[in-house]
Amino acid sequence: MDKLSQITTGKAKSLFSTAHPDQLIMEFRDDTSAFDGKKMEALDNKGNVNNQFNAFVMEFLATKGIETHFIELLSSNESLVKKLDMFPIECVVRNRATGSLCKRLGIEDGLILDPPLFEFFLKDDALGDPLINDHHIVSFGWASQEEADTMRELTLQANDILVNFFSEANLILVDYKLEFGMFQGKMLLADEFTPDGCRLWDKDTLAKMDKDRFRQDLGNVIETYSEVAERLGMQIKLD
Ligand code: C5P
């Protein structure tokens, strides 16, 4: 399948149309951004690592009953995906308090959240992706109540699966963000699941093994992503 024209380009990925009207090519670039694009850098091999990492996690989730937009890997940094009608919403689950939650509510960093905390955010860079709730979603028509409920259920269902998945690699799944879209009347998990969109801490040392290494200038970003991939049993191909 060849790329036809570029449909959108985000901070780390670009989407291209294909000869198939229901399928897109998602290209993972080396570009890395944080703080709504204020910090940007290209990191060698990030596109390759994240594309293959995402494929592995999406395929794993599909085996556990979470349907996703992922179809197949096309190259080291490209995947074929279904073309969805996306919700402008980010679904976040937190198993430990850190990041924006601690800033917003003055919560102690690392606090275990039981039950896990679920939050909706509006996907809008210009507004800094504000926290929203079901009422905003329904009143502004970003999704129906039923769709919001399904997004929350699927995100929490994925949490049960992924907490164990990462635990077996001696990692704590601290938090993560998912996005959903509709395909032929069905809600599917979209976008990506990579260390760019989640927080992973080593169980023994609590070392950060995710994009906080980039955000906080901790170094060895791609080496660490690769170590996570290796611990999970992935064999990443680099160009
Ligand atoms: O920034 P915050 O602490 O709210 O992030 C919660 C989780 O969601 C983190 O794992 C972060 O990487 C992810 N996230 C994301 N994209 C955003 C906002 C948050 O991947 N736009």
Task: Check whether residue 36 and residue 69 sit in a common domain.
Answer: yes
Task: Check whether residue 114 and residue 143 sit in a common domain.
Answer: yes
Task: Check whether residue 114 and residue 212 sit in a common domain.
Answer: yes
Give, in order, the Cα–Cα distances in Å from 135 to each of 128, 138, 180, 196, 199: 19, 5, 18, 29, 28
Instruction: Say if ligand 1 is within 6 A of residue 213 CB.
Output: no
Q: Mutate which of 39, 53, 92 to test ligand 1's pocket (most atoms within 8 Å of Cβ)?
A: 92
Provide the pLDDT confidence category of residue 238 given band limits of 50, 70 and 90.
confident
Task: Check whether residue 200 and residue 160 sit in a common domain.
Answer: yes
Do the beta carbons of residue 24 and residue 181 sit within 8 Å? no
> Closest ligand 1 atom to the C-alpha of 175?
10
Give, in order, the Cα–Cα distances in Å from 4 to each of 1, 21, 26: 9, 11, 12
Phi, psi torsion values for 102, nearest 5 degrees: -65, -40
Task: Check whether residue 74 and residue 141 sit in a common domain.
Answer: no
229 lies in some domain: no
pLDDT in tens, 27-80: 999 999 999 889 999 999 999 999 999 999 999 999 999 999 999 999 999 999
42 lies in some domain: yes
Instruction: Say if ligand 1 is within 6 A of residue 119 CB.
Output: no
1 lies in some domain: no
207 lies in some domain: yes
> Closest ligand 1 atom to the C-alpha of 98?
3
Task: Check whether residue 76 and residue 126 sit in a common domain.
Answer: no
Q: Cα–Cα distance between 76 and 66 in angstroms, integer? A: 24
Task: Check whether residue 99 and residue 157 sit in a common domain.
Answer: yes
Domain that holds residue 33: 6-82
Instruction: Say if ligand 1 is within 6 A of residue 92 CB.
Output: yes
Domain CATH for 148: 3.30.470.20
Instruction: Say if ligand 1 is within 6 A of residue 99 CB.
Output: yes
CB contact burial 165-174 (16+ within 10 A = b; e otherwise): bbeebebbbb
Handedness of CA 212, 218, 222, 225 (dihedral sign): negative
235 lies in some domain: no
The pLDDT value recorded for residue 58 is 98
Mean pLDDT for all residues in the chain: 97
Give, in order, the Cα–Cα distances in Å from 130 to each of 119, 124, 171, 189: 11, 8, 29, 21
Task: Check whether residue 51 and residue 142 sit in a common domain.
Answer: no
The partner residues of 23 in beta bridges, in order of sequence, read 82
Alpha-carbon torsion angle 91, 11, 103, 134, nearest 10: -30
Q: How many domains does the chain have?
A: 2
Nearest CA to ligand 1 atom 16: 197
d(CA 177, ligand 1 centre) in Å: 6
The pLDDT value recorded for residue 239 is 80
Q: Cα–Cα distance between 69 and 187 in angstroms, integer? A: 9
203 lies in some domain: yes
d(CA 63, ligand 1 centre) in Å: 25
234 lies in some domain: no
pLDDT in tens, 126-181: 999 999 999 999 999 999 999 999 999 999 999 999 999 999 999 999 999 999 99
Nearest CA to ligand 1 atom 21: 129
Q: What percentage of the chain reaches a pLDDT higher than 90? A: 97
Task: Check whether residue 94 and residue 202 sit in a common domain.
Answer: yes
pLDDT in tens, 66-118: 999 999 999 999 999 999 999 999 999 999 999 999 999 999 999 999 999 99
- The answer to whether the pTM exceeds 0.85 is yes
Please enumerate in sequence order all residues whose Cβ is within 8 A of that of 140, keeping only pairs 6 or more positions apart, or say none. Answer: none
d(CA 1, ligand 1 centre) in Å: 32
Task: Check whether residue 17 and residue 49 sit in a common domain.
Answer: yes
Q: 208 pLDDT exceeds 90?
A: yes
Task: Check whether residue 153 and residue 190 sit in a common domain.
Answer: yes
Q: Cα–Cα distance between 188 and 170 in angstroms, integer? A: 29
Task: Check whether residue 66 and residue 114 sit in a common domain.
Answer: no
Instruction: Say if ligand 1 is within 6 A of residue 197 CB.
Output: yes
Instruction: Say if ligand 1 is within 6 A of residue 100 CB.
Output: yes
